[in-house]
Structure 1
Amino acid sequence: MKTAYVFLANGFEDVEAVTPVDYLRRAGVKVSVVSLEGSEVESSHNLTIRCDCTLDDVLNAPLPDLVVLPGGMTGTKNLAASEDLRKFMKKMMDERRFIGAICAAPAVVLGSWGLLDGRTWTGYPGVGSTLTPRPGKERVVVDGHLVTSRAAGCAEEFSLVLIKLLCGPESMRKVADAILAREEEA
């Protein structure tokens, strides 16, 4: 069974976190929602999520097949401030595991750690405009094992691309059909 972690910090963007969790689970992926600390995390719109575990719980566990980093400016700044998460994500990159980052997360988290260097990526307009290379304007960009996306309005498409890469096009199609995804997103 494929595994995924969705890392949350206070101030995360609701749709960008919950959509990948839901869609990946529909595809049969064992998804763990991981907080930086504590069992509950509050979103940028006051939604409280009870997490499955904390970063400390997973630091010495086998790496998952995928990590998802949702946006939300406050949440991404909180993620970026974690040295343990930086080391974990560096390991994910080094081992070429899938990484999905959406909205502010590509620039604020991965970019601040130098993990976008030499990569093609996208993110929320204006965030990361000082990084080189600059973000693209595509809704979802796949560069090897790195998947980036622009914003909450792209969360469905982003999640379906993650499923396609992790589980294959047939699994992605089944989830897309079950949720009545728009054809251009599937």
Structure 2
Amino acid sequence: MEAPQKKFVATQVLLPIAYGSEETEVVTLVDVFRGGGALVKVASVENDIQIECSSGVKFVADTFISDCESQIFDLVVLPGGMPGLERLQDCKVLRKITEAHAKEGRLYGSSSEASAVVLEKWGLLKGCQVDGMVTTSQGLGLTLDFSLSIAEQLFGKKILNEELSSLMVPRGWNKCEVAKEEYNVDDWSLQNIPQVLVPIANRSDEMEIVVVVDVLRRAKANVVVASVEDSLEIVAARGTKIVADRLFKDAILSNYDFIHLPGGWYGAQKLGSTEQLIDLLREHAESNKAYGVVCAAAVMLDTKGLLKGKKATTHPHYSNKLSDQSSVNVRVVIDGKLITSFGTGSTMEYALSIVEKLFGMERANEVAEAMAFSYP
């Protein structure tokens, strides 16, 4: 007789969001925990299921916080961002859930200002970065490290080291990596406010969309997120529902100084099959306008001939697919008006490098400092 199979119970994570929550923190938390196999519920504390975050990125939550009141979670984690934190703090249902969660000795945490604004005022913070069942983070720029720290507690070191770190490629993941290289140095500076286009598709990588949009908007670029699908709402690689600003067919009626393509293998293939987008990228390359890609999107560009004669990098899982592999161990590569990035974990470095090229090092340092991120 066959032994009964043990039923697998997935880790349950609650991630509440509000108007003005910090989008980079939200997607980083979702990406890491879902990458580790957790079931993450993104719950709106508002009366609307669609939430506009602090830099204007719009998410569609999975559920309302009221629907989570009777559920038991392994982790409750709060993102930062103002005025989102004040709205989280004022949510009676969320406070009730979190207080009961803490009383039962379950894991909870907060990113950046959420510690002082919410947990401290609820009497749930002891003031340490990692203290028993409480994990906190000092700022937005440390959200990936914060998420991976909690992931180690949730899933163990084996999953962290063998799966999550190799997937996310955070700083320090591989000691032989080079941080950044630049070839054929070119001037990207503009007289006007940079106009940036970010095309997205179903299964595009959410962090590689949102981190770039967040950073460039903080630098005061005008960023348009455009869906190549039939609707504004797309479902990203880890299931995050993102609402674009425009449909791509409408967005391309305007002119852009920079085009950013996120990775995510299947999302990149969809972008690559959008003929108008590829034509636009070819026009950019021929006109010596700047464009960039993260992770798997570099492989797609290579197949379209848009990396010809250029140094580029991509995720280690895909590096053998690039025609020129001489720079694949570099986290960020700039060659003339093309910039490519290693993977999800180097997206912040990539985004700040774009800010540096468009606005100068002083602006890049200002944005990085505001996010508590060490750059360069």
Q: How does 1:110-149 map to 2 (within 5 A)?
A: 110-116=119-125, 119-121=126-128, 141-149=129-137
Aligned residues: 164
Deviations 1:105-158 (A, max 9, x none): 011011111112xx133xxxxxxxxxxxxxxxxxxx210110000111001100
Provide the secondary structure at the position in 2 that maps to 1:113: coil
Q: Is the 8 A contact 1:16 1:151 kept in 2?
A: no
Give the residue type in structure 2 aligned to 1:172. Answer: L
Tell me which structure has the larger Cα radius of gyration. Answer: 2
**Superposition misfits of 4+ residues, deviation over 3 angstroms:** none
Following the alignment from structure 1 to structure 2, what is the Cα–Cα distance between the partners of residues 111 and 169? Answer: 29
Equivalent residue number for residue 134 of structure 1: none
Following the alignment from structure 1 to structure 2, what is the Cα–Cα distance between the partners of residues 164 and 113? Answer: 26
Equivalent residue number for residue 183 of structure 1: 172
Q: 1:75 aligns with which of 84, 93, 111?
A: 84
Equivalent residue number for residue 103 of structure 1: 112
Give the residue type in structure 2 aligned to 1:182. Answer: R
Q: Is the 8 A contact 1:103 1:149 kept in 2?
A: yes
User: 1:30: how far off?
Assistant: 0.7
Equivalent residue number for residue 14 of structure 2: 5
Provide the secondary structure at the position in 2 that maps to 1:32: strand
Equivalent residue number for residue 85 of structure 1: 94
Matched, 1:160 2:167: no
Matched, 1:42 2:52: yes
Give the residue type in structure 2 aligned to 1:34. Answer: A
Identical counterparts, % of pairs: 35
User: 1:82: how far off?
Assistant: 1.1
Deviations 1:47-88 (A, max 9, x none): 111000011101112x11001100012010000011221111
Give the residue type in structure 1 aligned to 2:94. Answer: L
Provide the secondary structure at the position in 2 that maps to 1:45: coil
- Greater mean alpha carbon deviation, residues 173-182 or residues 69-78: 173-182
Following the alignment from structure 2 to structure 1, what is the Cα–Cα distance between the partners of residues 50 and 132? Answer: 33
Following the alignment from structure 1 to structure 2, what is the Cα–Cα distance between the partners of residues 6 and 34? Answer: 6
User: 1:6: how far off?
Assistant: 0.7
> Structure 2: any 5+ residue segments left out of the alignment?
1-9, 174-376
Give the residue type in structure 1 aligned to 2:58. Answer: T
User: 1:4: how far off?
Assistant: 0.3
The CA RMSD measured in Å over matched residues stands at 1.6
Following the alignment from structure 2 to structure 1, what is the Cα–Cα distance between the partners of residues 80 and 99? Answer: 19
Following the alignment from structure 1 to structure 2, what is the Cα–Cα distance between the partners of residues 156 and 115? Answer: 23
Give the residue type in structure 2 aligned to 1:95. Answer: E
Following the alignment from structure 1 to structure 2, what is the Cα–Cα distance between the partners of residues 144 and 152? Answer: 22
Following the alignment from structure 1 to structure 2, what is the Cα–Cα distance between the partners of residues 49 and 84? Answer: 21
Give the TM-score of the pair, scaled to structure 1.
0.84
Give the residue type in structure 1 aligned to 2:165. Answer: A
Q: 2:61 aligns with which of 32, 51, 64?
A: 51
